[in-house]
Structure 1
Amino acid sequence: MVTTALNETEQSNVTVWDTKTQAFHGGQEHRFLNNFVQDFSVTTNYLGTPRKALEAAKDAINEIHHYPAADQEPAKSCLAEFLWGTEYKKHHARLLLGNGASELIDLVIRKALETFHKFNEPNNGQKKPTWKGGPWNVQYREYQRSAETHGLDIKDPSFHDRADVLCVVNPCNPTGDYLSIHQLKEWIRDNVNPGGCVIVDESMQPWHSSEFRHDSLITQHDYIEEMYTHYGVSVHVMHSWTKIWSCTGLRVGSVICPTAQHCEALRKIAVPWSVNGPALKFVEQVVKDTDYLEETWLKTKPLRAYLIHQLKSLGYENWDYHGEPFLSWVWLDMKNEERAEKAVDLARKAGVPVRSGKPGYQCNTFVRIAVRREKEVQVLMDAWKSL
């Protein structure tokens, strides 16, 4: 453990990330704080890890002398049924699990690049495919990092032309922006080239409500089929399940491909057994925990409203609070870079780290604050009284 000296904490946090090869992410500072209370820097569910699923993962440790299921079953079927109910068998072959969403993001980007070069001659005047995110000014950086790694031509979200590879995080982490399903489908149509690839990250969509599936691409089968059949556009729906079920250390993600053939193509370039045994058992159990999700939908909104109320009570009337009411965090613009840096330092010293908008996003006046219980919020508010 380190002392409470801030410089040591900052130094430790810097050494965790290789900034030349990795995108900065929150969730590392807790290990360097000897007064840790709660992590406000990550957007995980305030309820913590579902108990029965955690026990299932623990029990699976006793089986680590065996390889995990190569076909990811029965976990994959359980997740498919969670997504599509009684019709899950119709869409099961389009679903693939991965070691968090990050592995699957890289697989889809790699496959998109391969497909682009297959159908585009090297002398056609376009040396490499274009990539853009958006329509937000910033979003989760792993998509862009993967695209950069594989040599795609990175365009700014304000780039008006269509792109060959389109990646949108909806709801957007960190900004909290959100497109309804109708807005999202139109935006995709207007921004992707024929024959292109689309990844829509809906990791934060399950917070929407018990009706989240109806405002999600996971149920837009006709649209996804039309985009591929008529325009050759491959729409993939990405999920990191580690936020809604608070299991970021376990690494569980999934991708829904436009066709079963797309899914098979990803499996060909994926490493085997990327999802370990405890993670598969966790998924198998967690999708059955309806009480956990019901409590999430019931209490996250009022807790987020409470957090904003407490922040406003600090008296800074020019602060802006961004994000949909159902989300598990607040994207706060403090309108002053020095104050934002001080807020991050004070929170860290109090054992309640928040996410600075500066590293990774270059949003120097912003901080991201996770929704947490009232008692934990008060620790943060006490720390910020001296702002």
Structure 2
Amino acid sequence: MTFDASQTAWDEKTQQFHGGQDWATLSNFVEDFSVTTNGLGTPRTALEAGRKAVDLCDHYPPANQEPAKSSLAAFLWPDSYQRNVNRLLLGNGASELIDLVVRKAPAGPWKPGPFSVQYKEYERSASTNGRPLLKVNDDSPAAIACIVNPCNPTGDYKPLNQLKKWVEANVQDGGFAVIDESMQPWHSPGFREDSMTSQTEFVADLYARRGISVYVIHSWTKLWSCTGIRLGSIVCPTEEHCQALKKIQVPWSVNCVALAFLHAVVKDEAYLHDTWTLTPRWRHHTVAALQEYFPNWLTSGEPFLSWVWIDTGDMIVAERAIQLAKQAGVPVRSGLPGYQQPSHLRIAVRSPEKFQILLNAWLPLRN
């Protein structure tokens, strides 16, 4: 049996478009700029742990997700993980957990974050579960409001004090607030202090006062560049909320490779140090070069992020940029499918040497 690599990887009638597929169709593939994974590549110690776990594939993975879950809890709450571990649940990527929490939320409308566009999986899940969809500029509070912070793809970021105010204003009493912090650990070595995971008192008080349940979701496959194994987590407001999600979760949804990888990777402090050091440096180099060669293009996003959101100002220019990138073996993410932003592109932050390949491919676009 043969497979036509040129056909789409998506069933466009039933699935939400997602990037990261073009590389498999390119005979000259060099580097994937279409995904927001860590430019350092996959951590070697964790990769080796995952490889060794394949030898155990004739056994079920642990149903309690241990010891990987406790290891992640210690990563999130170094000084208080034992008090919080039972509020944590792992999933087969963030997508599984998004669907669980949207299904569990009280009946009523769904609302996105305040940014022009955000990761579409939340909207997809709300739509397939029959919820009314509020617009981004609708001031009405919702039964479930989902904000991606930092926002993928726009790069907008609400610091913790602003984020808390947004939750208070946009969620109905008794509703759910879902905060996607998948890209937030890139913030700095002090990322925990600006994360909603640190706000246990705020979360408890909001639930006591107004019955609002705050959930924090992470997709760990971007930070640790392991999108192929699928690995996510959700922090629930209480242990009881976590049990309610676990009750509707498919058993053994996180396989033995992902669990072994996670257990090892949270201990790799050198990798994170390099991430916090090199990512902003490489991103600054990327943005500076884009501004020099394409002064009419607008770049956006926080300096610590692993990607750059680019508005070329012209749909035809964006389409040409996508074609040239593919021809050079360095695919980028179009803003059209999924996000409906036809003049926009998203490119991953990569080393200056790899970015130079993309920049060279785009030189014919200069005015």
Question: Which runs of 5 or more structure 1 residues have no equivalent in the other structure?
Answer: 3-7, 117-128
SS in 2 for 1:285: helix
Q: Which residue pairs with 2:263 in the alignment? A: 284
Letter of the 1:68 partner, please give it: P
- Does 1:178 pair with 2:157? yes
1:342 Cα deviation after fit: 0.4
After the TM superposition, list the runs of 4 or more consecutive aligned residues in structure 1 that deviate by more than 2 angstroms.
Answer: none
Please give the alpha-carbon distance, in whole angstroms, between the structure 2 residues aligned to 1:332 and 1:86: 39
1:67 Cα deviation after fit: 0.3
Letter of the 2:322 partner, please give it: V
- Does 1:324 pair with 2:317? no
Q: Which residue pairs with 1:60 in the alignment? A: 53
Letter of the 2:34 partner, please give it: S
1:161 Cα deviation after fit: 1.0
SS in 2 for 1:153: coil
1:313 Cα deviation after fit: 2.6
1:160 Cα deviation after fit: 1.1
Q: Which residue pairs with 1:40 in the alignment? A: 33
Q: Which residue pairs with 1:241 in the alignment? A: 220
Q: Which residue pairs with 1:123 in the alignment? A: none
SS in 1 for 2:254: coil
SS in 1 for 2:227: coil
Letter of the 1:269 partner, please give it: I
- Does 1:146 pair with 2:139? no
1:317 Cα deviation after fit: 2.1
Question: Which runs of 5 or more structure 2 residues have no equivalent in the other structure?
Answer: none
Identity %: 55
Q: Which residue pairs with 1:296 in the alignment? A: 275
Please give the alpha-carbon distance, in whole angstroms, between the structure 2 residues aligned to 1:146 and 1:161: 20
Q: Which residue pairs with 1:352 in the alignment? A: 330
Letter of the 2:56 partner, please give it: E
Letter of the 1:70 partner, please give it: A
Contact 2:336 2:342 in 1 (8 A): yes
Contact 2:87 2:236 in 1 (8 A): yes
Provide Cα deviations, 1:296-349, integer angstroms capped at 9, x if missing partner: 0011111001111221232x3221110000000000000011000100111011
1:21 Cα deviation after fit: 1.4
Please give the alpha-carbon distance, in whole angstroms, between the structure 1 residues aligned to 2:325 and 2:292: 17
Q: Which residue pairs with 2:136 in the alignment? A: 157
Q: Which residue pairs with 1:119 in the alignment? A: none
SS in 1 for 2:12: coil
Q: Which residue pairs with 1:99 in the alignment? A: 92
Letter of the 1:178 partner, please give it: Y
Please give the alpha-carbon distance, in whole angstroms, between the structure 2 residues aligned to 1:165 and 1:86: 31
Please give the alpha-carbon distance, in whole angstroms, between the structure 1 residues aligned to 2:71 and 2:178: 23
1:221 Cα deviation after fit: 0.3
Provide Cα deviations, 1:224-260, integer angstroms capped at 9, x if missing partner: 1011111011100000000000000010000000000
Cα RMSD for the two superposed structures: 1.1
Please give the alpha-carbon distance, in whole angstroms, between the structure 2 residues aligned to 1:159 and 1:204: 26
1:256 to 230, 235, 241: 235
Q: Which residue pairs with 1:122 in the alignment? A: none
State how many pairs are aligned: 363
1:227 to 202, 206, 210: 206
SS in 2 for 1:54: helix
Structure 1-normalised TM-score?
Answer: 0.92
Letter of the 2:134 partner, please give it: K
Provide Cα deviations, 1:8-62, integer angstroms capped at 9, x if missing partner: 97x52xx211122111111101100000000000000000000000000000000
Letter of the 1:351 partner, please give it: G
Q: Which residue pairs with 1:380 in the alignment? A: 358
1:137 Cα deviation after fit: 1.3
Letter of the 1:136 partner, please give it: F
- Does 1:214 pair with 2:193? yes
1:81 to 71, 74, 98: 74
SS in 2 for 1:61: helix
Please give the alpha-carbon distance, in whole angstroms, between the structure 2 residues aligned to 1:386 and 1:202: 37
Letter of the 2:222 partner, please give it: K
SS in 2 for 1:154: coil
Structure 2-normalised TM-score?
Answer: 0.97
Contact 2:174 2:210 in 1 (8 A): yes
